[in-house]
């Protein structure tokens, strides 16, 4: 006799980039095994598996190629909380004595935080405006792993969605033309584009804990998916 089929619960979350309600399910044991295997692989493989799991567990109803990195991070964290457990145990250093502090973090309290002065439209000159897009998950993972100035410049350049003036929209150009355009920026103009990157929404959780060794009160901000599982 065949064994009974188990029903998988379905949950809802608010997609950070759009505010829309989206359904998701926890990942199953067979999918969790794939994830554990992927964690022993290179960054590219981890990125691929995480993206595939998010796609599968949101019932293939999201365009993964257009999701911002913080959308995928937020969805995956919610999937992890419902699949494995809402509590994650971390070990972080005290800011005063560097003693390791054991912390129990409630993953359901993580939020996507956006700076008040964040803007996806950049007034480059009186006439020229840049419209930016958010980096994709794989683009941000690459930056986390290889934080180099040339990669930052390339990422910011590739995140220019369009360039326009009062009279014309520029959204069809070659990569060479884009690089030439960005290389012609003044330092202050590039700083404006960099500000978009630094203030864009990010997955965060604020934690407070007293050090067992010296008693110092630590206020710690955990940012980015990779830091929730250190």
- Average per-residue pLDDT for the chain: 89
Assess if residue 147 is contained within a domain.
Answer: yes
Mean pLDDT in residue range 154-179: 91
Q: What is the pLDDT of residues 9-54, one digit of tens each?
A: 999 999 999 999 999 999 988 888 888 887 777 777 888 888 999 9
**23, 70: one domain:** yes
Count of domains observed in the chain: 3
Same domain, 207 and 107: yes
Q: Is position 169 within any domain?
A: yes
Domain hosting 54: range is 11-85
Q: 160 or 152: which carries more pLDDT confidence?
A: 160
Q: Both 81 and 95 in a single domain?
A: no
CA distance 186 to 212: 49
Q: Where are the beta strands (DSSP E) in the chain?
A: 11-14, 21-24, 87-93, 100-106, 111-113, 121-123, 129-132, 160-164, 169-170, 202-210, 217-223
Q: State whether 80 and 30 are in the same domain.
A: yes
| Whether residues 107 and 217 fall in one domain | yes
**Nearest alpha carbon to residue 76 among 96, 56, 95, 53:** 53
pLDDT at 229: 58
């Amino acid at each position: 006799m065949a064994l009974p089929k188990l029903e998988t619960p379905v949950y809802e979350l608010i997609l950070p980039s759009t505010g829309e309600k989206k359904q998701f399910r926890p990942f199953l044991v067979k999918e969790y095994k794939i994830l554990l295997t992927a964690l022993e692989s290179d960054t590219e493989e981890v990125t691929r598996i995480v993206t595939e799991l998010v796609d599968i567990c949101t019932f293939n109803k999201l365009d993964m190629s257009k999701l911002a990195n913080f959308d995928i991070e937020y969805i995956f964290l919610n999937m992890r909380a419902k699949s494995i457990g809402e509590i994650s145990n971390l070990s972080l250093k005290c800011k005063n004595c560097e003693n390791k502090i054991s912390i129990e973090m409630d993953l359901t309290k993580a939020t996507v935080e956006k700076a008040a002065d964040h803007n996806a439209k950049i007034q480059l000159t009186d006439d020229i405006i840049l419209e930016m897009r958010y980096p994709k998950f794989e683009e941000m993972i690459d930056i986390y792993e290889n934080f180099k100035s040339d990669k930052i410049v390339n990422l910011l350049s590739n995140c220019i969605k369009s360039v326009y003036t009062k009279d014309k929209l520029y959204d069809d150009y070659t990569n060479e033309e884009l690089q030439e355009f960005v290389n012609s920026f003044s330092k202050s103009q590039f700083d404006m584009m960099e500000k978009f990157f630094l203030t864009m929404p990010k997955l965060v959780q604020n934690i407070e804990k007293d050090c067992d060794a010296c008693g110092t009160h630590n206020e710690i901000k955990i940012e980015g998916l990779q830091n929730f599982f250190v």
